[in-house]
Amino acid sequence: MAEENTNKENQDLEVQEVAGMATQSQPEVEKQQENPEKFLKEFNWHNYEEGIDPIDDEKLEEFEKLVEENFVDTLDDEVVTGKVINITDRDAIIDINAKSEGVISLNEFRYNPDLKEGDEVEVLIDVREDSTGQLILSHRKARVIKAWERVNKAHDESLVVNGFIKCRTKGGMIVDVFGIEAFLPGSQIDVKPIRDYDAYVGKNMEFKVVKINHEFKNVVVSHKALIEADIEEQKKEIIGQLEKGQVLEGTVKNITSYGVFVDLGGVDGLVHITDLSWSRINHPNEIVELDQKLNVVILDFDESKSRIQLGLKQLSQHPWDALDENLKVGDNVKGKVVVIADYGAFIEVAEGVEGLIHVSEMSWSTHLRSAQDFVNVGDEVEAQILTLDREDRKMSLGIKQLSQDPWTDITTKYPVGSRHKGIVRNFTNFGVFVELEEGIDGLIYISDLSWTKKIKHPSEFTNVGDELEVVVLELDVEGRKLSLGHKQIEDNPWDKYEDDYGVGTKHTAAITEIVDKGATIDFNEDITAFVPQRHLEKEDGSKLKKGEEAEFQIIEFNKEFKRVVASHMAIHKEEEQKIVKQAAKKAAASNNDKTTIGDVNADLQALKDKMEGKE
């Protein structure tokens, strides 16, 4: 029964629709009948064939107006705002008031895990219709386009932007600005040097866009630029109030080997290493630390006040003013070696008070050596005050004064003629300096090194550091001089040689060397004699040669100059003179027989024959 009623209702509705259509089309039929020719002429056969019902122009205009008001013009490069109407497991359905809804993968919303229905998002038409006729949108591309628009606007209008520091990189940091990765140089993080970059990672900060490279899509931002303007104002205010002697509070900004830079609140000043402490220091980090707050005094600045010289030690009393008033020359003091130079060492006897120990005051020795031979930096030493000038703040010290002067009893320890052993310390062209003990040196002249050897330079006889036995020859107490001898430890062998090799003595030896104007012969290890050229002549008139052995007669012996001259010719000339004398004596003895010229010639001929070996 119910089914029959339903069918009946459906039939009634169909009848009503047909009646309505008939009623609606009645005026059109009447128009067609009034002017059939015009109707046929204007009849749209295409619409008839396609089954398209004719629509009034007014309705078409109304429809186009509704489309224009409610649907967007989906241009490829235009970013529009859409609303999330549904979220599936993989996609978000976005309504952009187009003919159909668009789809965006949820991967593009990873940065926004709280995305929900009703949220408005910026999108870009990615694909108008895919293979299924679906409109594909892109939120990521829309974000990039909008981000670059905002970055360019911030750069052009010097706007402040917020950014998230993502990570550290070489030379700076990577910052997320509007979804774009921008570079933040390390020098642009702050006006102060940054020592811990990692402390900024994960922070949100304000920045200014300082540079954009459109070709390579690079963006450079700066946080320092935001605070420089304020600092510049503070700097002008501080500089305008600077005065010498003014004490200001500052923060240690940088430490170098030559000093410390202090931030006075936008203005930097330098405390030179010499103005950090009254004491001598090797590096400023012995006194201050980075980021340490301290008071400093303004010592000087240039006309533009861009270079400010500061002082730290000037805020405390000068150490010389606090030096014990009872301290005087002759007192012994203790201190630490702080500096060593070739000429001496500086000893800090009190904080900021130094005295100089000259190298000559380190030892009684007359041989000046380097100060490093006696002390090292950091050594604790005791010394005696030699001079003290409080007005000029100078003090000289001595170490050797703490021990007895070795020259005090020099005549007792080193009388003339006494024998001792010493160390060769130095050479000169004329002799050797020998140290008998610390502070006692003596000179051995080159002529006092050997009785027999002819020495041109002391290095031919001995070496520095060698031990020599010496005899004290002379002693000058006032002049603090000792004259020593080495050869005097033995008797002079030339005293004996004077008897053995005196003038007229004869000796057999071989020619050692042929030299200019003669030759040399060695009689022993000490005596080398010279034979003049003409005294090399043999009986037959020839000359002796090197290595040839013969008899020689000493014709000159000088012990002082160790000079010996010998002759071979004197040997056979002496024989010749003997024969002549004998012939003359024989002639004088013949009283009865008168000697004739022929007799004399016969005698001379006999002598000549003998010399030539004919007999």
Q: Provide DSSP, 289-314.
A: -TT-EEEEEEEEE-TTS-SEEEESGG
Mean pLDDT for the stretch of residues 240-259: 87
DSSP bridge pairs for 91 = 105
DSSP bridge pairs for 557 = 564
377 by DSSP, 3-state: which? coil
| Burial of residue 148 (number of CB atoms within 10 Å: 0-12, 13-18, 19+) | middle
Token pair belonging to 266: 């936008």
Is the per-residue pLDDT at 37 higher than 70?
no
614 — pLDDT class (breaks 50, 70, 90): very low
558 — pLDDT class (breaks 50, 70, 90): confident
Is the per-residue pLDDT at 385 higher than 50?
yes
**CA 71 – CA 135 distance, rounded (Å):** 14
Amino acid sitting at position 529: A
Q: Do you know the residue count of the chain?
A: 615
- Decide if 96 contacts 123 (C-beta within 8 A): yes
| Cα distances (Å, whole numbers) of residue 12 to 9, 24, 362, 563 | 5, 18, 137, 170
Residue 424: its H or E element: strand 419-427
Closest CA to 399 of 377, 380, 378: 380
Strands 332-341 and 268-272: unpaired
230 by DSSP, 3-state: which? helix
DSSP bridge pairs for 549 = 510
Token pair belonging to 300: 């000087």
User: pLDDT averaged over the chain?
Assistant: 79
Percent of the chain clearing pLDDT 90 (strictly above): 9
Neighbours of 140 (CB within 10 A): 18
| pLDDT value for 1 | 41
Q: 205-214, 503-512, 529-538, 576-585 — which is least confidently predicted? A: 576-585
314 — pLDDT class (breaks 50, 70, 90): confident
**Biggest CA pair distance of the chain:** 223
Is the per-residue pLDDT at 272 higher than 90?
yes
- Start-end of H helices in 189-333: 224-240
**CA 42 – CA 177 distance, rounded (Å):** 64
pLDDT in tens, 466-524: 898 899 998 888 888 889 998 888 877 777 777 778 888 888 888 988 888 899 998 88
Q: 254-269 in b/e burial notation, b at 16+ Cβ within 10 A? A: ebeeebbbbbbebbbb
Q: 580-595 in b/e burial notation, b at 16+ Cβ within 10 A? A: eeebeeeeeeeeeeee
Q: For residue 130, give every residue at least 6 positions away whose Cβ sits within 8 Å of its Cβ, in sequence order, or none.
A: 136
Token pair belonging to 76: 């490829």
Q: For residue 484, give every residue at least 6 positions away whose Cβ sits within 8 Å of its Cβ, in sequence order, or none.
A: 422, 434, 442, 443, 444, 448, 470, 471, 472, 473
The pTM of the full predicted model, rounded to 2 decimals, is 0.41
